[in-house]
Chains A and B, each alone.
Chain A
Amino acid sequence: MKHLVRAMLVAAVLLAGLAAAQVEILYWQYQFDARFDAMEQLIEQFNAENPDIVVRQETFPYDAYQQQVAASLPAGEGPDVVQLFYGWLPTWQRSGYVEPLPAEFFDAAELDATFVPMAQAAKLGGTYYGLPTAVRSLGLFYNKDLLSEAGYDSPPATWDEFIEIAKALTIKRGPRFEQIGWGVAPQGQEHHVIREVLTRQFGTAPYSDDGTEVLYDSEAGIEAFAFYTGLITEHELGVIDFVPGTSGYREGFRSLQNIAMIFDGSFAIGATQNTAEFEWGVTELPVGPSGVKSNFGSFWMNGLTPNALADPAKTEAAAKFLQYVTSPEAMELWLDVVGELPARQALIADPELAADPVFGPFIRSLEYAHATTFVDESAQRAVIMDAVNRVVLEGVDPEASWLQAAAEEQALLDQFAQ
C-alpha cells in the first residue's frame, strides 16, 4: 500500500513536470469543414513529433472571425498562430495583431526562393509577416450539360466567345430572367476580375508598382470597366443577385442549374465536386482582346500574434508549428483534403498536377496571376462594387462612375500611407 502511494506521488510529480515543460499553442482559422479537417490532421502529426508542444485548434464562422480576433488579442486572449487573408495584413499589422516572422527561424532569402512569387504579398516593408500553406487563382466554371445542349462543345477561350455562349444560354421570359449565362457577382470574385484581369487585358496595370497610386483611371482602365458593365447592361448576359442569398451565384450554378457559367476561385473546387450533380468543367479566364492573359492570385497566410512572442519558449514552438504547416508535406496534405494549390514552387511545377483537368487551369493561371497589394481589402472591394452598382442600378455613365471609384480608392491608399 505504501509503495502504491509512493508510486502515485512520483507519477504525479512527473506528470506535473511534463505538463510544465509542455508549451501550449493555440491556432485559429475560420470554420470551413475541409480546412478544419486538414488542420486537425496536421496538428495530430505535429503533436506526435513534438511531445513538448501541444497545439490546439479553434475555429469561428467566417463572418465572426475578424470580430473574434479584434476583441480577443487586446484582452491578452486568443491565438498564438493565426490564419488571415493576405489582403487583411495591412490593417492587422497597423494595429499590432500580427508580428514579423522572427529572423532566427525564418530566412527571408530562402522563402523568396522557395515560395511562389505571389507569397511576396505576405510582406510589408520588405518583412515577412506570415506564410501561406496554399494559394489560389480564379477560373471560369461552366455547366457542360447546358453548354452542349446549346451546341457548344468547348468553353469560351476569349471574351467574344464568352459573350456569344453566355447570350445563347440566357433565357428571358417577359421582364424576368429564367436562366442566365453568367452569374454576375461583382461582390464575389469579379471585383478582382475587373481590377487585375480586365484592366491589364485592356492595356494598363491597375496600380503603380509600389501600390500607392491608382493607374486604372486611364483610358484603357475606363474601357476595361465599361466592357465589364456592358456585359450586364448592353449584352444582358446576367444580373446581379439573380439567386438571392449569401453566394447566390454559386447556388445557381451548383444546385439550381439556372446559371451556366461563373467566375470563382480554386477554393471552390471541393464544394463544386460535392454539390454539382451534372457534368461541369473549369477553364482559364477568357483571353483579352490583344491576347493578354491575366488572373488574380490570392492566399490565406499563417502569422504569429503578439501572444506568440510572450516568451522565447512559446516563440520557438509557434515558429516550429508555422514551419510545419507550410512545409511541403503539409501542402500535399492540404491539396488532398482541401483541394487548394500548394504555395511552394517545387510542388507547383509538378507536371502531373498541371495536367489535371480540374487543377490544371488554376496551376497554369498562377504563372500570370497578380496578387493586388491591398491596404484595406474590404473598403477597396466596396469601392469597385459601388462603381458597378452605380452603372447597373442607377444608370450612371461608366466613365464617370469609374473615375469616382479611382478617386475613392486613391483616397484610401493615401489615408493608409499617412
Chain B
Amino acid sequence: MGLGDGLKAITQLPYLGGSQVQTKRGQEQIGARPRRFKLTLATREALWAYAFLLIPLIFYLFLRIWPAFQAFWLSLFSWHVDPAQREFLGAGYYRDMLADSKLHRALTNTLLYAAIIVPAQLVLGLGIALLLNVVTVFRPLFRAIYFAPYVTPAAAVAWVWGWMYSENFGIINNFLIEWSIFWEERGLPWLVIDPQPFLGDPDQALFAVAVVVVWKQLGFQVVIFLAGLQGIPRMYYDAAKIDGANSWSLFRYVTLPLLNPVMAFSVIISTIYALQLFDEVVNINFTDQGGPLNSTLTIALYMYQEAFARFRLGYAAAVVVLLFVLIMIVTLVQLRFFSKRVEY
C-alpha cells in the first residue's frame, strides 16, 4: 500500500464525503414547500446574506473604491484648493514620472524591499511555526513573544532599532567590537569585523530597514502559519506514517501542499505590505526620511512627501495610481502562481 492509497482511503471516509451534501439537500426539501415567491430556503438565506453584505459593500465602495477613482481623476489636474482653479494636465504628470529619477529610485527600492521581505517572512514565518507546532509546553507564551513586535507601534520599534543600529552607541556594534577583540587576542585577525554604520550608510540602510520590517511583521506570519498547520487534519499524517513516510516526506508531500492556500495568503499580504512600506521607513530616519541619499525611500513615502511637504497633490495622486497598478499586477501574478488547488 503506497502513500497515495492511504490518502485516498481517508478522503473516502464518510466525514469528508457525501453526508454533508445530504443534509443540505434535506434542508432544501423542507424549504421547497409552496410559498408566495417560491424562493428556496437556500435562496432566501443567500438574499439575507447579500442584504447584510450590502452595508459594508456600500461603505467599501464609498470609502475605498470611489476615492481610488478620485485619485486617478486628481492625477490629471494641477492641484488647487478651489476645484475651479485646477488646471487640466492630462497625462502631464505621468510623463513627468518617466523623467523623475527620485521616483525611479523609490520604485527600485520598493521592489528590492519586497524581494527581501517577502521570502524572508515566508521562510522564517513557516520555520518558526513548524518549531512552535512541535512545542507543546508554553506554546501560547512563545506565540505571544513572537507576536509582540507585530502589535508594537512602528514609531517605538524604529526608535529602539535606531539605537541598536547606532554606529557609536549601538548594541550591535558593541558586540562586533567584543567579537573582534576576542579573535584578535587569539591571533585570528581575519575574523575581525569593524563597527558598521548601518542606517548611516546608503549601501546598508535599506537592508537594515528590511530587517526591522521582517522582525516586526514576523509574528503575524507565524500565527497565520500556526493556524494553517493546525488546520491540517492529523489523519493525513497518520495515514502517511502508516505508509512509512519519513519526516521530510511528511513535510514535502503533506504539510507543504496543504499549506498552499495559507502560503498564498502570506505571500500576497506581505507583498502588499512591502510595496506599501511607509511607517518603519519614516520613523527610523526621522530627520532625513527616506535617506541617506534616498537609499531607503519607498513609493508610499515619496507620495507622502510630494503631497504633504511639497503640496503637489496632483503629482502625488499620479504616484498613487502607479503604486495601485504595481500592486495589482504583482497580486494577480501571485494569485495565478499560487492558485493551483491541492486535493487528496
* Residues on A facing B (Cβ under 8 Å): 66-67, 70, 73-74, 91-92, 94-97, 174-178, 185, 187-188, 239-248, 306, 376, 378-379, 385-386, 389-390, 393-394
Q: Is the CB of A97 within 8 A of B308?
A: no
Which chain B residues (70-104) contact chain A, with CB distance < 8 Å?
A: 79-83, 85
Instruction: Report how far A66 CA is from B311 CA in the complex, Å.
Output: 8
30 A-B pairs whose Cβ atoms sit less than 8 Å apart in the complex: A66-B308, A66-B309, A67-B304, A70-B311, A74-B81, A91-B310, A94-B311, A95-B81, A95-B311, A96-B80, A96-B85, A176-B177, A188-B287, A239-B168, A241-B199, A241-B200, A243-B166, A244-B162, A244-B165, A245-B159, A245-B286, A246-B287, A306-B82, A376-B310, A385-B288, A385-B291, A386-B291, A390-B293, A393-B293, A394-B293
Q: Is the CB of B310 within 8 A of A379?
A: yes
* Residues on B facing A (Cβ under 8 Å): 79-83, 85, 159, 162-163, 165-169, 173, 177, 194-195, 197, 199-202, 286-288, 291-294, 304-305, 307-313
Instruction: Report how far A177 CA is from B312 CA in the complex, Å.
Output: 41
Tell which of B82, B83, B168 has the most Cβ of chain A within 10 Å: B168
**Residue in contact with A242 in the complex, picked from B83, B168, B292, CB distance below 8 Å:** B168
The interface residues of chain A lying within 8 Å CB-to-CB of B80 are 95-96
The interface residues of chain B lying within 8 Å CB-to-CB of A241 are 166, 199-200, 287
The interface residues of chain B lying within 8 Å CB-to-CB of A96 are 80-82, 85
Q: Is the CB of A70 within 8 A of B308?
A: yes
Q: Is the CB of A389 within 8 A of B291?
A: yes
Q: Is the CB of B177 within 8 A of A174?
A: yes
**Residue in contact with A394 in the complex, picked from B162, B202, B308, CB distance below 8 Å:** B202
Instruction: Report how far A244 CA is from B309 CA in the complex, Å.
Output: 23
The interface residues of chain B lying within 8 Å CB-to-CB of A177 are 168
The interface residues of chain B lying within 8 Å CB-to-CB of A246 are 286-287
Instruction: Report how far A393 CA is from B296 CA in the complex, Å.
Output: 15
Q: Is the CB of B163 within 8 A of A393?
A: no
Q: Is the CB of B286 within 8 A of A73?
A: no
The interface residues of chain B lying within 8 Å CB-to-CB of A393 are 197, 200-202, 292-293
What's the nearest-Cβ distance from chain A to residue B322, in Å? Answer: 20
The interface residues of chain A lying within 8 Å CB-to-CB of B199 are 241, 244
**Residue in contact with B81 in the complex, picked from A73, A175, A239, A376, CB distance below 8 Å:** A73
Instruction: Report how far A187 CA is from B287 CA in the complex, Å.
Output: 6
The interface residues of chain A lying within 8 Å CB-to-CB of B81 are 73-74, 95-97, 306
Question: Chain B: which residue is nearest A385 at the CB level?
Answer: B288
Tell which of A66, A91, A386, A389 has the most Cβ of chain B within 10 Å: A389
What's the nearest-Cβ distance from chain A to residue B183, in Å? Answer: 15
What's the nearest-Cβ distance from chain B to residue A395, in Å? Answer: 11
Instruction: Report how far A348 CA is from B195 CA in the complex, Å.
Output: 50
The interface residues of chain A lying within 8 Å CB-to-CB of B309 are 66, 378-379
Q: Is the CB of A187 within 8 A of B288?
A: yes
The interface residues of chain A lying within 8 Å CB-to-CB of B197 are 393
What's the nearest-Cβ distance from chain B to residue A40, in Å? Answer: 27
The interface residues of chain B lying within 8 Å CB-to-CB of A70 are 307-308, 311, 313
Instruction: Report how far A97 CA is from B82 CA in the complex, Å.
Output: 9
Instruction: Report how far A175 CA is from B193 CA in the complex, Å.
Output: 12
The interface residues of chain A lying within 8 Å CB-to-CB of B312 are 91
Instruction: Report how far A175 CA is from B312 CA in the complex, Å.
Output: 43
Instruction: Report how far A40 CA is from B287 CA in the complex, Å.
Output: 30
Instruction: Report how far A51 CA is from B159 CA in the complex, Å.
Output: 47
Question: Chain B: which residue is nearest A98 at the CB level?
Answer: B81
Tell which of B165, B307, B308 has the most Cβ of chain A within 10 Å: B308
The interface residues of chain A lying within 8 Å CB-to-CB of B82 are 96, 306
Question: Chain B: which residue is nearest A68 at the CB level?
Answer: B308
What's the nearest-Cβ distance from chain A to residue B133, in Å? Answer: 38
Extra contacts, 15 of them, besides A70-B308, A243-B169 (Cβ < 8 A), are A67-B308, A95-B81, A176-B168, A241-B200, A241-B287, A242-B168, A306-B81, A306-B82, A378-B309, A379-B309, A389-B202, A389-B291, A393-B201, A393-B293, A394-B293
What's the nearest-Cβ distance from chain B to residue A351, in Å? Answer: 38
What's the nearest-Cβ distance from chain B to residue A397, in Å? Answer: 16
**Residue in contact with A91 in the complex, picked from B159, B165, B194, B311, CB distance below 8 Å:** B311
What's the nearest-Cβ distance from chain A to residue B169, in Å? Answer: 8
The interface residues of chain B lying within 8 Å CB-to-CB of A176 are 167-168, 173, 177, 195
The interface residues of chain A lying within 8 Å CB-to-CB of B85 are 96
The interface residues of chain A lying within 8 Å CB-to-CB of B202 are 389, 393-394
Instruction: Report how far A230 CA is from B85 CA in the complex, Å.
Output: 48
Question: Chain B: which residue is nearest A73 at the CB level?
Answer: B81
What's the nearest-Cβ distance from chain B to residue A384, in Å? Answer: 11
The interface residues of chain A lying within 8 Å CB-to-CB of B159 are 244-245
What's the nearest-Cβ distance from chain B to residue A261, in Å? Answer: 17
Question: Chain B: which residue is nearest A185 at the CB level?
Answer: B287
